[in-house]
Amino acid sequence: MAVACQVMTDSTASGVLHTYISHKSRGAIHINSMWGYCSGIMEGSQPADTIILDREPPYPVLFQKIADKQQQLKPDTKGKMAWQPLSGKQHNILSLTEEQQTTLAQTAKSIERYYKRPQEIEWTFEHNGQLSILQTRDSPVEETPAGEQPFPVNITRDAEIIFSGQGVTVQRGIAIGKIFVIDEKNDLNDFPHGAILLTRHASPRFAAIMHKTRGIITDIGSASGHMSTLAHEFRVPTVVDTKIATQQLKHGDEITLDATQNIVYRGKITELDRFELTVEDVFEDSSEYRLLRRLLNHIYPITILEPQLDKITSASCKTYHDIITVTHKLAIEEIVHLSEKHATQSFPPPKQMKTTIPLGLMIIDAGKGTTCSLTDRYITLEQIVSRPLRDFWQGLEESGMWRNDPVSVDMGSFMSSMTRTTSLSASEKVGRNLAVILDNYMNLSIQLGYHSTSIEAFMAENINDNTIYFKFFGGATEFIRRARRTLFITNVLRHYDFMVEIQGDLVAGRVKKLSIDRMSRRMMILGALSAILANWTPL
């Protein structure tokens, strides 16, 4: 039996916040705050400051009342909680700074968005300035008076619709805020809290700002892509694949995104926000949703990143995704075995790629990947039909990284030069470099010196089928240089929308559900990256 332990915070100020109250016919955030610990607020035995903030950034103060605070609850010299007198200057000054009020409001709105109900939150600020959330629960809201409609049905009748019915709803909900356009020129660190993200392409790199964004709209994207999965997890109202959003909206526009009805309105319609929080049922609270979430935990996650077939047992596969991963690995191994040991028309023997690039690459055509005949010993680039391999090879050739002259080696640079490629004749430096291809598929393994690269890619017109999986395992240099190389690879992959995992010297990146043209661009980037890594001289 486990023992639960809770950290005792060193509080300078604490209190209770309600994310939604009615203040002068508008929604507002209500905060009660006092010095030290907030037991006096919960018990109603001590006076507390009252602050009412607007619900929209930058959360201006609508009302505040400073209480005459005479004492605070703090640990005494023996560690026991005791009421202690406050210094005179603390009696009548506000217990929260403006910066703390903003931080508290931002955090509270994020919690409210996740639960999709007004929240009552207990919080505390510690001496180091860290905000800690002690607990949160649904907050009761004022009931609609008898005879009144809980939601005025004509509230959007006169609202200007910018566009509707465009794209696919990923996460239902209401988002009100200003548009912030993200493209390759923007730094994600500039994204303001409470803005609505507008972008041409969906990307998993937006995970870094999911906690800050009020909503997401994209021109291109998939409802089952990485970014969409993240939007589900963070419960961010999201519409993807609108095709026209970046043409109809511009940076700084104030809009209301109704991702429930798939409508974008011009301006703020705060009544929609209130309706979602107080009236509309929360699908995530339904028994059906919770059942699906439990089932998904046994289907979607992958726990086997690098399957070693000789060590795999039935107990190793914890999810259906694991089973598919291992089965796929076994299938590729069997294709290679049949081609090398039992070559037939169905499984032709491996053929060597004829090229000036010193890889010694052998190719197994598993179907429609080349135009060469069964008797050909070599394959030229012109005979390659497989789109993933053609794009990858284009990146290799255009990188300008390859050299065919011998590389000079001295003892001082020995460890650095171990990862360099010399000439094609130096076959002992080249491992088992093999590609299994179809017209739209590639499984590539390259070993050069003391590091290896593997790429698996499927590229077709159906965006939902497209995926690229890249793995690099490096060595042949000391720790600091390996760390720099890992950081370089990670930054390149993340810039091009890959979800990246790092385990020691293993870097794994995956991107999926992009258009075939965007996938082609990423395959070319991986070709150039592989050339750089093959000729890497770390600093």
Q: What would the pLDDT profile of 94-108 be if each residue is shown by its tens digit?
A: 999 999 999 999 999
Which pLDDT value is given to residue 89?
86
Are 98 and 80 contacting, i.e. CB atoms less than 8 angstroms apart?
Answer: no
Find out whether 91 and 70 touch, Cβ atoms under 8 Å: yes
Mean pLDDT, range 160-188, rounded to an integer: 91
Domain assignment present for residue 342? The answer is: no
Q: Which of 43-47, 67-71, 326-330 has the highest mean pLDDT?
A: 67-71
Instruction: State the residue for tokens 């009805």.
Output: 261
Same domain, 182 and 65: no
Shared domain for 326 and 390, answered yes or no, is no
How high is the pLDDT of residue 142?
60
Q: Could you tell me whether strands 506-512 and 467-473 are parallel, antiparallel, or unpaired per DSSP bridges?
A: antiparallel
Mean pLDDT of the chain: 84
Residue found by looking up tokens 């939601």 in the block: 151
Q: Give the chain's domain count.
A: 4
Residues 134 and 182 grouped into a single domain: no
394 and 509 co-located in one domain: yes
Return the pLDDT at 424.
33
The verdict on 431 and 283 lying in the same domain is no
Give a yes or no: residue 58 inside a domain: yes
The CATH number covering residue 56 comes to: 3.30.470.20
* Structural domain of 314: 299-336
Q: Residue 305: its pLDDT value, please? A: 62
**Alpha-helical regions (H) of 116-235:** 226-234
What's the rounded mean pLDDT across residues 495-524?
90
What confidence category does residue 321 fall into, taking pLDDT thresholds of 50, 70 and 90?
confident
Mean predicted confidence (pLDDT) in 10-15: 93
Give per-residue burial for 373-397: e unless 16+ CB within 10 Å, then b.
eeeeeebeeebbbbbbbbbbbbbbb
Mean pLDDT value across residues 360-379? 87
Of 102-111, 177-186, 283-292, 374-383, the one with minimum mean pLDDT is 283-292
447 shares a domain with 527:
yes
DSSP state of 194: T
Residues 438 and 504 in one domain: yes
DSSP-derived letter for residue 384 is B
Chain segment 223-241, per-residue pLDDT in tens: 878 889 889 889 999 999 9
The answer to whether residue 143 is domain-embedded is no
Clarify whether residues 428 and 287 are in a common domain.
no
Local confidence band at 412 (pLDDT 50, 70, 90 cut-offs): very low
Query: According to the model, what pLDDT value does residue 478 have?
Result: 77
More confident residue, 278 or 490: 490
3-state secondary structure 171-190: ECCEEEEEEEEECCCCCHHH
